[in-house]
A and B are shown apart, each in its own frame.
Chain A
C-alpha cells in the first residue's frame, strides 16, 4: 500500500513522525485529506483536530493550534505552534479552560479548548 511520511512538529518539539495512508487536517479553505501522491501543496491550518491514519491501521488524533502543512515528495510536514496528541491532552483542564473562555467570551480560547476536547474525545470513542 502506498504510504506517505508524516512529521508533526510543534514549535518546541517533534510531536510525532511515521508512515501514514491518509492525513485529514482543517485548512483555511476547509477539511483537506492528503493521500500519497498528492500534488505539492502548502496551506495554512486553522485551529482544529488533525487525524492521521497510520499504515498499521491505527489512528492518531492531535489538536493543532495555528500553523501550516506542506506536502512534497510524499513527505508531509505539519507545523503548528502548539500540537498535542489526543492522549497527552488533560481533559479536565481543557474543560476548565472551555468554561473560562465562555465566561470571558474569548472566542479563540473557546475554540482551542473545544478542539482539545474533540481530539481527546475522538480517541475515547475508539476504545
Chain B
C-alpha cells in the first residue's frame, strides 16, 4: 500500500471514530430534551398556582413589600446569567453571555453599577478569563437543575436585594427561552422589584385579568406576601433554569447533528480520494510492468 493511500485510510478511521462519538452525544441530548421538557411541564402547576396567589394578595390588599417597592434612584443592578456547564452546545452559552453583556452595557448607560451572578461553568470561565468581577457563581447543575438549586441561587439574590446597605436595587435575569426544538432565544427580564401588573401565567395571559375571591389571609396579608414573594422569585428562577437546561440540550443536539453530518461528508470525500489514490497506484504498477516487459522484449529482439 502506498504512503498516500495509508494516510487517507488513517484519516477515514479517525473521522469515523469522531462521528460515532458525536452521533452518541446527539442521541443522548435528544432524549434529555424530552426529559427537560417534561420537567418544565411538571413545574407549571406550582408556578401557576403561586402566580395566582401572589396576584390575589397584591390586588386584594394594599400591603407594601420590599420586593415590590421600586427605588426611584436605583444605583446598583444585579444580573443573573444562566449558562451551560459543558461546551459542545453550539452558540448556546455564547448567546446568553452576549445578551448579558448587552444588558450590562444598557444598565451602565442608565448610570447603574452592574453586579454579576453566574450559573454554569462556561459563563464563569468567560468572566474569569477577562478578569471581570463576579459577585457569586454556582456550577454543576446546569443540565439537570432541581428546586433546591434554584432555592440556593434565589436565597443569595434576595439577600442582596433586601440588604439595608451595599445591596442591589434591581435584579435582572438572563436566560435562554425554549421556544421549540429548533428555536431557543437568549432573553433578559427584570425579576425584581416585582411589577404585579406584568405577572403572567404559563400560557402568557396576564394573571391580573382574573377575578379573585375575597380571601381571608392568615396570618395577615403582609405575612402571606412575606412568605409568597420569595417563593415566587424562587419559582421564576427555577423555571428559567429548567428552560435553559432544555435549551442547552436542544442546542447540543443541533450542534452534534451538524458535526455528525459534516463527519459523514468528510468520510465520503476522503473515501473518494483514497479510491483514486489506489487506482493511481494500480495504474502506475501496470504501466511499470508493461514498460518493463517492453524493455525486455526490445532487449531480447536486439540480441537475436
Instruction: Give the B-binding residues of A (Cβ under 8 A).
Output: 7, 9-14, 27-29, 32, 39-44, 66-68, 70, 72-73, 77, 79, 81-82
Contacts and interface: CB of A to CB of B under 8 A. Distances in A.
Interface of B: 39, 42-43, 45-46, 49-50, 52-53, 56-57, 146-147, 151, 212-219, 223-224, 227-228, 231, 234-235, 238
B231 A27 contact: no
Nearest to B238: A11
Contacts of A66: 231
Contact of B49 (A9, A13, A27): A9
B213 A40 contact: yes
- Chain A interface helix/strand/loop/mixed: strand
B53 A28 contact: no
A9 B228 contact: no
A9 B224 contact: no
6 contacts: A12-B39, A42-B53, A42-B216, A66-B231, A68-B231, A72-B215
A29 B217 CA distance: 11
Contact of A44 (B43, B50, B151, B223): B223
B223 A41 contact: no
Contact of B219 (A14, A44, A72): A44
A14 B238 CA distance: 16
Interface centre among A10, A27, A44, by most chain B C-beta atoms within 10 angstroms, is A44
A44 B223 CA distance: 8
B293 to A, nearest CB: 81
7 nearest CB pairs, A to B: A43-B218, A40-B213, A11-B147, A72-B213, A42-B215, A44-B227, A13-B42
A77 B42 contact: no
Given A11-B43, A11-B238, A43-B217, A68 B228 contact: yes
